[in-house]
Amino acid sequence: MDFDLSEDLVMVRDAAREFAAKEVAPGAAARDLSAEFPMAQFAAAAALGFTGVVVPESLGGAGLTNQALAVILIEINRACASTGVTLSVHNSLVCAPIVKWGSEDLKRRCLPDLAAGRKLGAYSLSEAGCGSDAAALQCAARDEGDHFVVEGTKLWVTNASHADVFVVFVRTAKLEKKHQGITALLVDRDTPGFRVSRKEDKMGIRASSTCELVFDGARVPKANVLGEIGRGFPIAMDTLDGGRIGIAAQAVGIAQASLDAAVRYAKERRQFGRPIADFQAIQFKIADMKARIEAASLMVMRAAWLKDLGRPHAAEAAQAKLLASRTGNFAAREAVQIHGGAGYLEDFPVERYMRDARITEIYEGTTEVQRLVIARHVLDAK
Ligand SMILES: Cc1cc2nc3c(=O)[nH]c(=O)nc-3n(C[C@H](O)[C@H](O)[C@H](O)COP(=O)(O)OP(=O)(O)OC[C@H]3O[C@@H](n4cnc5c(N)ncnc54)[C@H](O)[C@@H]3O)c2cc1C
């Protein structure tokens, strides 16, 4: 057993840390205020291979591991959670399923542009009546020979404002079991009859875009099916298992940023004639934050390691997301408390961390859904 990052992972982490400090952190607060999508940061990330981390080199990617992706996402989210989720969705929810489930033709058509950051990806499962109950989706696709014709509306699609390629889950057959008859389609932004509609105004990750998609007779070639027709639901779930490691990494990044800010402030701020870091009440908060961040990081890396080995990781990814997202929220809240009144102002980053942390307990499966997944694995274990 070895808890150290390998030499390669240390190099990746250091490159991501430097990139995050130079290219992502500056302007993160301003982008949060203006809700400006981090397109420039996405483009800059491409130069380091961060837009195609797990895409094989033969298809233009960096050919790295899921552990490398986790390390990169922790560092980038430490600087800006909006940029972090943009890259997490692009890598884990779009590039990864195309690598795993795409036909050779689809991989060759899509992956080089996605991996090089010339195109941005989005993942669309949720609808008005389908969130936690993902298999209840209604958006329908009619079979017309070599095409599907898609009708319906999808909601809450991260990256949609700027995305070029959308992984979309649609119903291609109404069968007795609702998780059957779902198909994963790759939809190009310029498909006639398809448009990106309303953009949501959010509490946190405000620079990330979250939009509605409208399909009005959109013709999508069958050559764009991921995996098999009617077998899309397992692809949606398998993809989310990987995505949850990314969101857990996001939460660790936010938690670490919260701790960094809290330590900085606690050493500077003086009350009763001494730095507040001298007070045990403050030290205990810092100790609890640190211990929980360490635990969450280890869980993130273990889930990524299992995925790299091709071993089952659904329960471990759910555990990592459950623990890390709670840690992100805990650490951000404690960081605000350590800042006192200053923590409530926009002058300090911790109020942004607290707003950003909130979403990690909601998207890619709520905290309650993670507990359902974990409990099912425990109770079903032989
Ligand atoms: C900013 C943002 C970005 C998003 N990005 C994407 C994206 O890119 N692609 C995409 O497809 N979706 C995306 N989503 C949707 C997101 O994944 C869903 O919001 C999430 O899965 C929860 O679904 P819901 O909002 O419908 O809540 P609901 O499912 O209605 O849940 C409401 C509450 O009930 C609880 N609950 C539901 N069922 C159970 C149960 N069986 N047992 C116990 N408690 C339960 C939930 O935990 C929650 O607390 C995004 C959402 C947001 C807010």
* Whole-number Cα distances in Å, 134 to 34, 39, 158, 169: 32, 29, 16, 10
My answer on whether 109 and 133 are in the same domain is: no
- Pairing relation of β-strands 270-271 and 274-275? antiparallel
Choose one of 82, 85, 88, 126 to mutate for the ligand 1 pocket test, by most ligand atoms within 8 angstroms of C-beta: 126
C-alpha to C-alpha distance for 331 and 257, rounded to whole angstroms: 9
CA distances from 168 to 40, 70, 379 (A): 25, 24, 32
Surface-to-core class of residue 365, CB atoms within 10 Å of its CB (0-12 exposed, 13-18 middle, 19+ buried): buried
Same-domain status, 44 and 156: no
Same domain, 17 and 108: yes
The answer to whether position 2 is within a domain reads no
Sign of CA dihedral 340, 345, 349, 354: positive
What is the identity of the amino acid at 333?
Answer: R
Same domain for 252 and 218, yes or no, is no
Which SS3 state, helix, strand or coil, does residue 201 take? coil
> Distance between CA atoms of 259 and 358, rounded to whole angstroms?
16
* Spatial CA neighbour of 180 closest among 126, 101, 221, 234: 234
Q: Which domain holds residue 33?
A: 7-119
pLDDT of residue 144: 96
Please give the distance, rounded to the nearest whole angstrom, from the Cα atom of residue 201 to the centre of ligand 1. Answer: 17
User: Could you tell me whether strands 165-171 and 121-124 are parallel, antiparallel, or unpaired per DSSP bridges?
Assistant: parallel
Cα–Cα dist 127/66, whole Å:
29
**Ligand 1 pocket, mutate which of 85, 363, 367, 374 (most atoms under 8 A from CB):** 363
Q: Determine which one of 127, 176, 364, 368 is catalytic.
A: 364
Nearest CA to ligand 1 atom 31: 132
Residue identifier of the C-alpha nearest atom 26 of ligand 1: 131
Q: Are residues 87 and 132 in the same domain?
A: no
CA distance 348 to 257: 12
Write down the pLDDT at residue 127.
98
382 pLDDT above the threshold of 90: no
Domain end (from 191, 208, 230): 230
Using most ligand atoms within 8 A of CB, pick from 125, 132, 367, 371 the residue to mutate for ligand 1.
Answer: 132
Residue found by looking up tokens 């840690």 in the block: 327
Residues 328, 367 within the same domain: yes
Residue 1: pLDDT band by 50, 70, 90 thresholds?
confident
Domain count, the chain: 3
The predicted structure's pLDDT at residue 125: 98
CA 124 to ligand 1 centroid distance, Å: 13
- Measured from the Cβ of residue 233, the count of other Cβ atoms closer than 10 Å reads 21
Q: What's the pLDDT score for residue 302?
A: 98
CA angle 52/58/62 to nearest 5° reads: 30
Establish if 1 belongs to a structural domain: no
Ligand 1 atom nearest the C-alpha of 89 is 8
Segment 164-169 shows an average pLDDT of 98
With bands split at pLDDT 50, 70 and 90, how would you rate the model's confidence at 196?
very high
- Helix, coil or strand: residue 76: helix
For residue 381, is pLDDT > 90? Answer: no
pLDDT at 26 (0 to 100) = 96
| pLDDT tens digits, one per residue of 66-114 | 999 999 999 999 999 999 999 999 999 999 999 999 999 999 999 999 9
363 and 242 share one domain = yes
pLDDT at 208: 98
Tokens read off for 46: 């491409």
Q: Which atom of ligand 1 is nearest to the CA of 124?
A: 11
Determine the average pLDDT of the residues in 49-56: 98
CA distance 93 to 169: 12
Q: How far apart are the CA of 132 and the centre of ligand 1, in A?
A: 5
In a domain, 21, yes or no: yes
Q: What's the CA gap between 314 and 263, in Å, rounded?
A: 35
Residues 323 and 144: their CA atoms lie apart, in Å, by 46
Distance 357 CA to ligand 1 centre (A): 15
Q: Ligand 1 — pocket residues by CB below 6 A?
A: 89, 123-126, 131-132, 156-158, 202, 210, 359, 362-366, 368-369, 372
Q: What is the mean pLDDT of the chain?
A: 98
Which two tokens mark 230?
A: 């009617």
- Are 73 and 159 within one domain? no
How high is the pLDDT of residue 27? 96
Q: What six digits make up the tokens of 201?
A: 């105004």
Q: For the chain, give the percent of residues with pLDDT over 70.
A: 100
The mean per-residue pLDDT over the stretch 144-152 comes to 97
* Same-domain status, 16 and 129: no
The domain boundary, picked from 119, 148, 179, lies at: 119
pTM above 0.75, yes or no: yes
Tell me the CA–centroid distance for residue 56 and ligand 1, in Å. 32
**Contact, 165 vs 114, CB < 8 A?**
yes
Mean pLDDT over 169-183 rounds to 96
Q: How far does residue 122's CA lie from ligand 1's centre (Å)? A: 17
Over residues 236-241, mean pLDDT: 98
Is 323 a domain residue? yes
CA nearest to 246, candidates 81, 41, 3? 81
Residues 226 and 138 in one domain: yes
Q: Are residues 26 and 43 in the same domain?
A: yes
pLDDT digits (tens, 9 = 90+) for 295-305: 999 999 999 99
Nearest CA to ligand 1 atom 43: 368
Confidence of residue 53 (pLDDT cuts 50, 70, 90): very high
pLDDT in tens, 263-289: 999 999 999 999 999 999 999 999 999
User: Catalytic annotation on 364?
Assistant: yes
Q: pLDDT tens-digit profile of 257-268?
A: 999 999 999 999
Q: Does residue 335 sit in the same domain as residue 372?
A: yes
Please check whether residue 368 lies inside any domain of the structure. yes
For residue 218, what is the domain's CATH number? 2.40.110.10
With b for 16 or more beta-carbon neighbours within 10 A and e for fewer, the 148-162 pattern comes to bbbbbebbbbbbbbb
